[in-house]
């Protein structure tokens, strides 16, 4: 990658919204580095991105595994001297019933959901700060959901809701802590999209959802510590 080319890291970038984020950022000239838990999916996505003429690299890593994230961060530092954008996109949806109550939500489901949706973002953020602060405009985007909006919170999908609520809280805390590092961070809901996680009943395509993240990534207002939906700041 060239010294002038912006570098974007996208977790969970092998399919769905993650792949479309890589695709769209790549077409805008970013060098994209993405992770995937599954090597076969990652290699296929890398081949597809290269087919589009996009500069990209891939690393097999489970965002919810701190050791994997550390190995990835160490490797990343060998191929680039800085990161301009981190998109914490990797996520899981393990709730099996639309209105399953928290009273009946198994502990394993909660832990497995938080492992990827929350802890993965925390691990990656901590580990990539040394590279992000070398950018003239270091930015982190946490892919959240309106299901995690406290202002409208109600029952249903408890593990997913709580993980995204916690992710939003993490965004607020990191916004204050990262200000001295010249790194800004925001949460955004891409909307309900037709992906493996979102189902084929969703009204938006994965590309449309990704365009929301790309919009925020290229926004010139330089805001930090906010939650976005439909390209506007919304209540937490």
Distance CA 236, CA 231 (A): 15
**pLDDT score, position 144:** 98
Give the integer Cα–Cα distance in Å for 106 and 184: 35
Catalytic residue annotation? 160
Residue 1: the pLDDT is 60
Q: What is the mean pLDDT of the chain?
A: 94
Contact 90, 11 (CB under 8 A): yes
Q: Which of 94-98, 154-158, 185-189 has the weakest average pLDDT?
A: 94-98
Q: Quick one: average pLDDT of 89-107? A: 87
| 7-234 CATH | 3.40.50.720
CB 139 within 8 A of CB 86: yes
Beta strand segments in 51-206, E: 56-60, 85-88, 138-143, 183-189
């Amino acid at each position: 990658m060239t010294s002038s080319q912006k570098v974007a890291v996208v977790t969970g970038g092998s399919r769905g919204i993650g792949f479309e984020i890589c695709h769209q950022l790549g077409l805008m000239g970013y060098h994209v580095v993405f992770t995937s838990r599954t090597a076969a999916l990652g290699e296929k996505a890398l081949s597809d991105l290269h087919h589009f003429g996009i500069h990209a690299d891939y690393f097999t890593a489970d965002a919810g595994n701190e050791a994997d994230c550390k190995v990835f961060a160490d490797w990343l530092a060998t191929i680039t001297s800085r990161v301009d954008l981190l998109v914490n996109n990797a996520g899981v949806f393990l709730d099996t019933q639309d209105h399953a109550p928290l009273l009946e939500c198994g502990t394993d489901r909660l832990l497995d959901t938080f492992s990827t949706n929350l802890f993965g973002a925390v691990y990656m953020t901590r580990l990539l700060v040394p590279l992000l602060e070398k950018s003239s405009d270091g930015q982190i985007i946490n892919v959240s959901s309106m299901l995690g909006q406290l202002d409208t919170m109600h029952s249903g999908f408890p593990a997913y809701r709580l993980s995204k609520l916690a992710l939003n809280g993490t965004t607020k805390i990191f916004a204050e802590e990262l200000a001295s590092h010249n790194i800004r961070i925001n949460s955004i809901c891409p909307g309900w999209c037709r992906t493996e996680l979102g189902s084929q009943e969703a009204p938006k395509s994965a590309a449309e959802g990704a365009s929301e993240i790309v919009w925020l990534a290229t926004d010139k207002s330089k805001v930090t510590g906010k939650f976005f939906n439909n390209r506007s700041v919304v209540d937490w």
